[in-house]
Amino acid sequence: MKISITGFGGSGKTSLFAACTGKTMEDAIRQSVGVVSVPDVRLNKLSALFNPKKTVFTAIDFLDTHAMDSHVKQEKISLFETLRSSDCLVCVISAFRLMSDEEMIDELNRLRLDIVINDLDMAMKRRERLEKEIKICKDKADKQKELDLINKIQPVLEQEKFLYSLEFSKDELAIMSNSGFLSRKPCVYVVNYSEDTKDPKALEEKVKKQLEILGDPSPVISLNASVESEIAVMEPEDRDEFLKEYGIDECGKDKLIRAVYQRINYITFFTVGEDECRSWKIPVGSTAVDAARAIHTDLARGFIRAEVVETEDILRLKSMHEAKKQGLVRLEGKTYLVKDGDIINIMFNI
């Protein structure tokens, strides 16, 4: 799973990348890809309860991209290729260097416009190619379906709107999945404010309001990427003391990582034991067999049934034995839809 951080030059996106990945700024500048653990207090509590040899958090890849306003042609090409292959975009707005709220909203609109223009250019080129191919191709059905889709989305892009406002059929979604239209991808917006900002939440709300006007359901997170990057490389004891001193309950980068995780429509299930407590990511709507496959393909192939219990019940009762005694551990079959927070033990035979 690939998450791309994008924004204009000087927006602080590299500082944000450093904060999310725990890299120093020097390393973040040299290395544009990093693995990020998804924070989950439930796994922390389960680990404290079971005291396993190892605790493993689910992870996603974060990338720092070229600046959206780069004038280097190859960088621009590389940027959009990276964004098209990403599962989610994190769009950074540089509120820390702007003189007014109007400038902040203007930067938001310009960033969105660059994405829309790229999509519109791609749609127009694809339309031209399809129209030529349809004239000479014997089997025109599939190409006509794609052309019909282009006819549907192009007017929306010409109005400088993202494609969130449109509903698509299963066939259209199948075509869209390989199209690379950026204005259809999940986004999370980050308002990167300065240390002397008096009311970061007010900036966040202004961006949210503008997105509502534009029909964009994407979440907005406000943070100071520079401070977050400094916190990320602190020793755990120093970090805890710093957060306590400044009355910070949670790092902004943790809020961002969770917002991204939710935006891409994933949920978490857990496996627990004395050897390992671990969180696993699967798409919403996944079955018990899908969960088994996420752990190992052999578990899915030899799936018999799954033992399922809710995390809250285990944390409340303090043991799996007590949960079974009270009838809270269920046996589920292949078609069971996994819920966020399920603890699952796969029973299988190969």
Q: Kindly list the domain boundaries of the chain, sorted by start residue.
A: 285-348
Query: Does residue 138 carry a pLDDT above 80?
Result: no
Query: Does residue 319 carry a pLDDT above 80?
Result: yes
- pLDDT of 248: 81
Rounded alpha-carbon distances, angstroms, from residue 285 to 288, 311, 329: 10, 19, 21
- pLDDT of 182: 95
Dihedral over alpha carbons 248, 249, 254, 258 (to 10 degrees): -140
The structure tokens 């890809």 sit at 33
pLDDT average, residue stretch 199-223: 95
Mean predicted lDDT score pLDDT of the chain: 94
**Residues 101, 111: Cα–Cα separation, whole Å:** 15
**Residues 226, 232: Cα–Cα separation, whole Å:** 10
> Pick from 221, 211, 142, 148: which is nearest to 183 by CA?
211
- pLDDT of 180: 87
> Pick from 230, 226, 241: which is nearest to 196 by CA?
226
Least confident of 24-38, 126-140, 331-345: 126-140
- pLDDT of 5: 98
- pLDDT of 9: 95
Structure-token pair, residue 324: 């079974």
Least confident of 118-127, 131-140, 186-195: 131-140
pTM of the model: 0.92
Query: Does residue 125 carry a pLDDT above 80?
Result: yes
Query: Does residue 334 carry a pLDDT above 80?
Result: yes
Chain center to CA of 111: 19
What's the pLDDT tens digit per position in 177-193? 878 899 999 999 999 99
What's the pLDDT tens digit per position in 217-248? 999 999 999 999 999 999 988 988 888 887 78
Q: Which CATH class is domain 285-348?
A: alpha beta
- The residue ranking higher by pLDDT, 203 or 177, is 203
Q: Residue 285's beta-bridge partner residues?
A: none
- pLDDT of 84: 94
What's the pLDDT tens digit per position in 270-304? 999 999 999 999 999 999 999 999 999 999 999 99
Would you say the C-alpha torsion 67, 263, 225, 100 has a positive or negative sign?
positive
**Residues 317, 321: Cα–Cα separation, whole Å:** 9
- pLDDT of 45: 97
Would you say the C-alpha torsion 72, 75, 81, 86 has a positive or negative sign?
negative
- pLDDT of 147: 94
- pLDDT of 350: 83
What's the pLDDT tens digit per position in 33-56? 999 999 999 999 999 999 999 999
Instruction: Give the other-Cβ count within 10 Å of 62's Cβ.
Output: 26
- pLDDT of 98: 72
Query: Does residue 81 carry a pLDDT above 80?
Result: yes
